Structure 1
Amino acid sequence: MEPFERYRDIVDDFEAFLAACERPLPMAVRVNTLKASVERVTQAFDEAGIEYEQPDWHPHVMTLDTDKPGATWPGFHGWTTGQEEVSAIPPMVLDPQPGERVFDSCAAPGSKTTQLAAEMDDEGTLVANDNNLGRLSALRFNCERLGVTNAVVTNQDARSYSLKPFDGKEFDRVLVDAPCSCEGTIRKNPDALDNWNLGHVESVAGIQKGVLRRAIQMTREGGTIVYSTCTFAPEENERVLDHVLDVEDVRVVDYDLPLEHVDGITEWEDEEFDPQVANAKRVYPHHNDTGGFFTAKLEVEG
């Protein structure tokens, strides 16, 4: 946990944070409303004798008392899909509507893509992109398994994505769940910090800036972008937001998050960030017995 020492001054109750990071992560699933209702799923779990809990903050998320959620009856039939609890935050904040044009820039393996499709009632256009060709098979499989039909899968570098195949039309909403150093996944990936170094953090932050800038450029005036990572590093979170605020016509807006969280930080080491970054939300593992996550909501200005 040595890399986390750099966060001692920004994390509330740092010792509780470290203790939470060392505990295994509860197994969670999301009810796939394209195939089943919450009531139908809970009935199936009750009949199978599988214990579950339903967090108050999201009606379709459950934690299960099993380490093989895919082997359950609802999982086998695509009524549920394995998804870390905090992973459901970004699609919820993006709030896509049926009939809209939505872009998921870093989509594979597809847990958030399929959540977006469910929020859209499988209506409209959902472009699911990933630059890693090898991961697209998992994305396609998950879309098919969960009954998603409004998704178009593409394989481009999100930093230079071309709108030409879509007649140059901009998107209403864009999700940038960016590749990151994955510090917040330590509870399910205990080796997440094995190769941690600041050079990698700085390198991936450069990619994140490029992906987010292109996402802003592809979003219509008044449209919404959600930027998220599963890491704690301010270099990959608030500093990325601070950068795009300097170079793009966009603002970071506040939103309601019914989970315990803290606001984005406006100072880190010898840096001061744009005050707008405080509208972002940080969720730490000890807050809600989850993984760690960072989520910001942006709106494109004219």
Structure 2
Amino acid sequence: MTPRPPAEGTAAAAHAAPVAPPADATGNWVDRYAPAALRPYLRLARADRPIGSWLLLIPCGWSVALAVRMAGTGWSGHALGLIGLFALGAVAMRGAGCTWNDILDRDIDGRVERTRQRPIPSGQVSARQAFAFLLAQCLVGLGVLLALPLFAQVVAVASLGVVAIYPLMKRIIWIPQLVLGLAFSWGALMGFAALLQALPAAALLLYAGAVLWVVGYDTIYAHQDREDDVLIGVKSSARLFAGATRRWLVPIYAGAAALMALGLWQAGAGPVGFAGLALFAGHLARQIARLDIDDPAACLALFRSNRDAGLLLFAALAVDAAL
């Protein structure tokens, strides 16, 4: 999920010859079924790669389930409606974040093999068109925001600064994944804010654990582009940890699980919730054991498996709240 821009330089090479992605290049639904005119915009929003929306939504689900548990009300129509609202918001704001990233990196993405076919550097969409699309997605996000209670609105708006600066962090700090974690984990606060009108200790602990989870899985993801990052001087945890990545992931993932366990304890979670967390932690341990930083395809598969890990924990927390 972390973008990898190439070395600074002119954009002339990137825009000299627009590169259209081959039809049905990946077999995803956008390439197969979407109208041709919409495909560049759907790719801007990464609709062809829904894993990011899942990973943005999952902490929202955790927080709603734990807030339901703390409220002691069981799963009401309001709580279920929040899941739907957060799902819509996750898709819209993840798309907006990716579009914003592509606008900022439009002059350099065309020089990296993995990103040169993105809509802006390939000439399928202009920067002005992309910006208009960004505003449209933000309007959808605004609609979701206005449907939330005032306290939740304030909490949500507080995330925008982190979201805005994230694409620049890979040029500044060695672990931009930490800033991504701060942004992508914000949903761990939102369920509490919307249902309880407060941010108890359980919310803060769950959020901190989710941040470490994001740092871990995006470090795995970043190893796909490690060689490009070295050539162009872009910072990432994959470069920082390098061959010691597996050793670094142990305390990162262990810290994530420990903080989440404290959050569950603070929320009064029961045995089913903790059993789900144990399975979640086991999934993270399996990722560490199977990691091969020199196999990009394997790194991508491990990264994507975090959706299943997160949904497993959500299912356990949802059942725990119902019980």
Q: Higher helix proportion, which one?
A: 2
Q: Higher strand proportion, which one?
A: 1
TM-score of the alignment, normalized to the shorter chain, above 0.5: no
Task: Tell me which interval the TM-score lies in, with the shorter structure as reference length.
Answer: 0.3 to 0.5
TM-score normalised per structure 1? 0.34
Answer 1 or 2: higher relative contact order, Cα 8 Å, separation at least 6.
2
TM-score normalised per structure 2? 0.33
Determine which structure has more spread, i.e. the larger CA radius of gyration: 2
